Amino acid sequence: MIKTFLLAGAAFAALTGASVAQEVTLRLHHFLSADAPVHTGLFEPWEKAVEEQSDGRIDVQLYPSMQLGGKPPQLFDQARDGVVDIAWTLLGYTPGRFPVSEVFELPFLSGTATETTMAIQDYQRKYLGDELKDVHPLVLHAPAAYKFHTKGKPIASMADLGGLKIRAPSRTMTDGLNALGATALGMPVPEVAQALTTGVIDGAVLPWEVFGSLRIEGVTRQHTEFGSENGGLATSVMALLMNRAKYDALPDDLQKVIDDNSGAALAAIAGEVLDKAESEERQKAIDAGNEIIVIAQSGLAEWKEASQPVIDSWVASMNDAGHDGQAMLDEARALLAKAQGN
């Protein structure tokens, strides 16, 4: 699919004739390193496709590792306010600001990156318009379901979480980890490596795919998974967002270039890239002799029971905001089941 994406760009450039002068610069800012899978597998091909399909009239500039300043929780506002043209962030980095999207952060409502990302596409169209009205969304997607990664103490049962300080990426997951018996500490993912090495945390919930770029493969040697048949532990909603005024100012033909490289087409590529990286990083841990524990379906009941209050709280908060929280939850679950072929 990635090859098709780039070939389409080359074909378009050939049809449009000779290159013309650059008209628009788009600065894309994000918090991961330049060797992270999302940068090399998604943003770099996107940059090439947009530049080729615009016949050089759009110049995309990538700025990883917060090179343009600020902290990861500020990225949404940077895109909204025009500090940058495009930002990639986790909506959960700003607690309580995007409560409708938090449904995919709830315990045991996630799968592979592709499955959850495809579910988010339909959910976004129906429910997320108001939360994202101040920006122009290019794509919403998700990583593969999170796993526990700890140093020194394996988690083979819920009781093993007692006394452990575990990193959480969002408010919802913080509540979920606390409900399961851990002490959750919220922090953006770039802070995880230092927090692990200095003992601020004992472990983290993360997808496998960020391991290499975070340089933590040698720090956490115990890993606990919840198989995809269990719905995964949880996930986050990632968002690639463009400044609305910048998008609106583009001529129609350049808007079309952006549109052709947004939405469902880009979501499919994001899912493919992250699932591939997930598998590769997991295999590296196996090859290194790390301990991988899988919580069996038969042992999951206590985990779900303990985390149910977090789900109930989200439903109640949606009801209080004038939504039908249970209907939204049911639909998110149905969309995920559909993406999983169930």
pLDDT tens, position by position, 26-69: 999 999 999 999 999 999 999 999 999 999 999 999 999 999 99
Quick: pLDDT tens for 240-290: 999 999 999 999 999 999 999 999 999 999 999 999 999 999 999 999 999
Provide the residue range defining the domain that includes 88.
Answer: 2-99+112-143+236-278
Say what the pLDDT of residue 6 is. Answer: 47
Q: Are residues 230 and 247 located together in one domain of the fold?
A: no
Q: Does the predicted TM-score (pTM) go above 0.85?
A: yes
Q: Does residue 312 lie within any of the structural domains?
A: yes
Q: Distance (Å, rounded) from C-alpha 327 to C-alpha 254?
A: 38
Write out the two tokens for 17.
């004739």
Q: Does residue 105 lie within any of the structural domains?
A: no
Q: Are residues 229 and 314 located together in one domain of the fold?
A: yes
Mean pLDDT of all residues in the chain? 92
Quick: pLDDT tens for 116-139: 999 999 999 999 999 999 999 999
Q: Are residues 156 and 300 located together in one domain of the fold?
A: yes
Write out the two tokens for 262.
């947004």
Q: Are residues 151 and 245 located together in one domain of the fold?
A: no
Closest to 141 in 3D by CA, of 109, 104, 170? 104
| Residue 192 · residue 216 · CB < 8 Å | yes
| Residue 284 · residue 213 · CB < 8 Å | no
Write out the two tokens for 254.
């350049």
Q: Does residue 258 lie within any of the structural domains?
A: yes
Q: What is the band of 1 on the pLDDT scale with cuts at 50, 70, 90? A: low
Q: Say yes or no to pLDDT of 14 above 70.
A: no
* Domain count within the chain: 2
Say what the pLDDT of residue 217 is. Answer: 85
The arithmetic mean of pLDDT across residues 75-85, rounded, is 98
Quick: pLDDT tens for 181-202: 999 999 999 999 999 999 999 9
